[in-house]
Amino acid sequence: MKTYRHFINGQYVDSTSGEWIESIDPFSGEVWARAPKGNEEDVNLAVAAAKAAFENSDWTDLSASARGKLMRKLGDLVADNADRLAALEVKDNGKLFSEMKAQMVYHPEWWYYFGGLADKIEGSIVPIDKKDAFSYTMYEPLGVVAAITAWNSPLLFIAWKCAPALAAGNTVVVKPSEFTSASSLEYASLVKEAGFPDGVFNVISGYGADVGASLVSHPDVSKITFTGSDLSGQKIYESAAKNIKHVSLELGGKSPNIVFEDADLDMAAKGAVAGIFGATGQTCVAGSRLLVQESIHDEFMERLLDLAKSARLGNPMDSGTHIGPVTTPQQYQKVLSYIDIAKQEGAELVFGGSACKVPGADANQFVEPTIFTNVSNDMRIAQEEIFGPVLSVLKFKDEEEAIKIGNDVVYGLAAGVWTKDIRRAMRFTKALKAGTVWVNTYRAFSYMMPFGGMKRSGLGRESGIAAIRDYLQVKSVWLSTATEMPNPFILR
């Protein structure tokens, strides 16, 4: 069994608790690794290292261009290790190797993009309205950033959070999910190899309620960047408010994927499948509410069912597998419980709906891809995030009803629209209350495109130029050229 350690101040170290959390392969059920069960003492050590590094000239004296070079070096190292890191992710989260490999091959782009941006963070000279004054703004890092991540794509979240955070000159403490700590702990060695000064990048593992909560409340942490559920996000936001910390929250979703009668129905059916069965539905942007126009409902469902029937469940390491296991036993139970809820609510089960056995999958965490029709928008399966391969299909009459149903949910992370009518597409991109709207595609991402949620899906944006502003604060500087101080009792 592989043993991982915390990575603090450039060194791998044991947890002060001497306790461990076991990593279980979601496919085989094998306990294949263990990671430290961190505690408050470990948090104090990691934050102290990050704080010292933030004040140390090894980091503060580096020019922004030099920071960018380190980041590009790290991107190259990730590219060289893409296969190994992707396989590690699969061992922990059970997602398809083909998907995790594609993520790891693309992952360096965040380091290249934000590495290139590091020396283009410019303040401005303000054409100030006061006599004898010269005024300008400058952008400064925030300090120690705590990056708390979810289990579905741990390393991608490191890139999304740490690339802009380090480009801006902050230092970081990463806390991966207790279910998937191995890859983030392993990744730390590449950061060291790239040449980042000790303490700039730290990783500690442990449970959210102790390590996560201690990080969030630590007085020397200036910003929390979080990916996870809206309930955890709410607790983090409340705790961070006590010390007025900066917070970015990437939370859950219940995204509408809307198919109009004029769409290319074959493409739309593939888009629906990509939206809900990709990553076994364990993706924040899952198109879990499929809105289909009444006039094409039955015809579209036939195409969708044909595609769903072709999905192969199997070992996530096999290139022929389409759907892997659910990542954790808890999540597996949750998905099955929502299938029961849907049946009780009166939705019509037209495909799947059960746990299933897959040869070699001794963890027993497979759920059939599942489709419910006749779902109404007030049902729990239309409103609550399931985070699994369960699709709710709702009918709509016209544009007005599609927008009403599409927006009638507490979340606002993403939405899809399938139509050949460019005017309709433009009306919908404006009307849908979601951080990302895809037209005639789904689950497309880029390091250049801001990503984040509206409403209960979160605060702040990751990727794109906008992301770096979330890791900076603006300082206003006034220089006076006057030779005399005017009346000191009056505001200048």
List residues near ligand NAD by CB under 6 A.
148-152, 175, 177-178, 207-209, 212-213, 216, 227-229, 232, 235-236, 250-253, 284, 385, 387, 413, 453, 458
Among candidate residues 94, 150, 149, 97, the one with its CA nearest the CA of residue 328: 94
| Cα–Cα distance for residue pair 120/266, rounded to 1 Å | 44
Query: Annotated active-site positions, please?
Result: 250, 284
Query: DSSP string covering 257-279, please?
Result: EEE-TTS-HHHHHHHHHHHHTGG
Query: Residue 374 or 407: which CB sits closer to ligand NAD?
Result: 407
Phi-psi region of 244 (alpha: psi -120 to 50; beta: other; left: phi over 0): left
Q: Which helix (H) or strand (E) holds 412?
A: strand 411-412
Burial of 309 (0-12, 13-18, 19+ CB in 10 A): exposed
Element (H, E) at 104: helix 97-106
CB of 127 to ligand NAD, least distance (A): 39
Query: Strands (DSSP E) along 272-377, which ranges?
Result: 289-293, 348-351, 355-356, 366-367, 370-373
Alpha helix ranges (H) inside 107-146: 108-117
- Closest approach, Cβ 360 to ligand NAD, in A, equals 26
Q: Which is nearer to ligand NAD, 49 or 211 (CB)?
A: 211
Residue among 229 and 374 whose Cβ is closer to ligand NAD = 229
Going 390 to 87 to 18 to 214, the CA torsion angle's sign is: negative
Single-letter code of the amino acid located at 232: S
Q: Which of residues 256 and 453 has its CB atom nearest to ligand NAD in the complex?
A: 453
Q: Which is nearer to ligand NAD, 121 or 367 (CB)?
A: 367
Task: For the CB of residue 331, give the shortest distance to ligand NAD in the complex, in Å.
Answer: 7
Neighbours of 310 (CB within 10 A): 9
CB of 347 to ligand NAD, least distance (A): 21
Least gap, CB of 236 to ligand NAD (angstroms)? 5
Q: Closest approach of Cβ 413 to ligand NAD, in Å?
A: 6
Residue type, 149: T
CB-nearer residue toward ligand NAD: 275 or 458:
458
Closest C-alpha to 103, from 87, 84, 86: 86
Select 213 or 301, whichever has its Cβ closest to ligand NAD. Answer: 213
The residue among 263 and 468 lying less far from ligand NAD, judged by its C-beta, is 468
Classified as helix, coil or strand, 14 is coil
Q: What is the DSSP letter of 32?
A: E
In whole angstroms, give the CA distance from residue 51 to residue 191.
18
Q: For residue 462, what is the DSSP state?
A: B
Cα pseudo-dihedral 263, 269, 275, 276, rounded to 10 = 140
The rounded radius of gyration (Å) of the Cα atoms in the chain is 24
Minimum Å gap between C-beta 208 and ligand NAD is 2
Q: Output the smallest distance, CB 386 to ligand NAD, in A.
A: 10
Residue 39 token pair: 């505690």
CB count in 10 Å sphere of residue 242: 10
CB of 409 to ligand NAD, least distance (A): 13
Give the Cα separation of 78 and 97 in Å (integer): 16
C-alpha triplet 33, 34, 36: angle, nearest 5° = 155
Backbone phi, psi, residue 370, to 5° = -130, 135
- The token pair at 438 is 């895809």
15 vs 293 by CB, closer to ligand NAD: 15
- Please name the residue that has the structure tokens 């044909």: 306
